[in-house]
Amino acid sequence: MKGVLDFLIAAKQLTEKPRAGWVARRVQSPETTAEHMFRVAFMAYILGSKKGLRLKNCLKEAVLSDFPETKRGSDDFLRAKNSLAKLTAPLREDLQREITLRWLESEKEISKEGKFVAQLDLVENLIQALEYLGSGGSRDFLEFAEKKVDDPLLKNFLEVIKKKFYGAKSAKKQKELKNILEFLLQVGKLKRMGRLYWKLRNIKNPETVADHIYTLTLAAWLLAAGRKELSLEKLLKMSLCHELSAVYTGDTTPYDRILREGGTEKREEILKRVIRLSKKEKESIFIQDYKQEKRSLEKLVHSLAPHLAKEIIKLWQEYRTKSSQEGRFLSQLNVAVMLLQGLIYEKKYDNFSAAPLWELAFEISDHTLILKFLDEMKQKFYT
């Protein structure tokens, strides 16, 4: 477990590191490397499903696609490979081997899934360039993608992108791909949505919802690997989907509701503790939030293929209601990963305390893996 924690702490740097290409182009508040991989992973899920690829491998390769961030050249490749070897050194040998294999598959395009994810990476770059720079400033990204992408599905997807952003004529009707593009553009809003828990506590440049989803997806892989009672593919998908409703609802916490309602207690005192509610209050708030989030999620996925929309909603429901082993595990891991970010902030900021997150994590956690992970964090940050 120590190796997993060390690896995740290293990975958290990717939630703070702006992508070098956007910095060079002087983009204001550019996406992080983790945010880029977040949308690549979603593209792997949605488009990989349509193509009939092995999704578990696609998703793993997507969350490693820029880990570490590198250009595709021989010298850069060797440096990146050596860097990855150092990062994975604390992990179990089976995880070291698989992470290296999945990274190599996409870096060198030596499997169907690896080649697909490598090309998805280029398409996501193009979409992000269009969002930052518009059609006039992104021509070089389009030309590079058109030169490198040869997958038939992704070539059709590029045609849909060109039609939307460049006014190009599309040779075929591509309604399904058009709907997928609109979905991915909406999902991209989570890259720019700072997590409310940190914003309420005045954390400067806090992690975004997309950053958190990326870390949770990676953590779910590392902790659940080899656990027969948990479906890893389902966990990876569920991790990606668990906060999708925030696209329309915004990020929420129990604290913003209490602060909105006001009262005599000072704001600073409220933020220092876990929110305590009666069972009746909890049930009422859960039903209210659940209905609002479900409506938002249905609005977001309604134009996707029916089987895919249904799957995303079901994954979210299992997470929110803890009605499956994966849902219960992920709900506990979600708080543990949030605690990890809180501990990093506690170390960085003198006036920030992770105490409420510790209290919440120990209250809701009963899975052996999560308890071991919490204990490892305690050892790491306080001894």
- Tens digits of residue pLDDT in 18-47: 998 999 999 999 999 999 999 999 999 999
- Write down the CATH number for the domain with range 1-189: 1.10.3210.10
Where is 207: in which H helix or E strand?
none
Q: What is the pLDDT of residue 70?
A: 46
CA 42 to chain centre: 8
What is the Cα–Cα distance from 244 to 301, expressed in whole angstroms? 10
Residues of the chain with pLDDT under 50: 70-74
Do 247 and 187 contact (CB within 8 A), yes or no? yes
Decide: residue 59, CB within 10 A, 0-12 exposed, 13-18 middle, 19+ buried: buried
What's the CATH class of domain 193-383?
mainly alpha
Domain ranges (residues) in the chain: 1-189, 193-383
Do 114 and 106 contact (CB within 8 A), yes or no? yes
Same fold for the pair 1-189 and 193-383: yes
87-138 confidence digits (pLDDT tens): 999 999 999 999 999 999 999 999 999 999 999 999 999 999 999 999 999 9
Q: Distance of CA 276 to CAs 77, 273, 280, Å? A: 51, 9, 12
Q: Where are the beta strands (DSSP E) in 120-220?
A: none
Q: Quick one: DSSP state of residue 355?
A: H
What is the Cα–Cα distance from 74 to 80, expressed in whole angstroms? 10
Do 90 and 7 contact (CB within 8 A), yes or no? yes
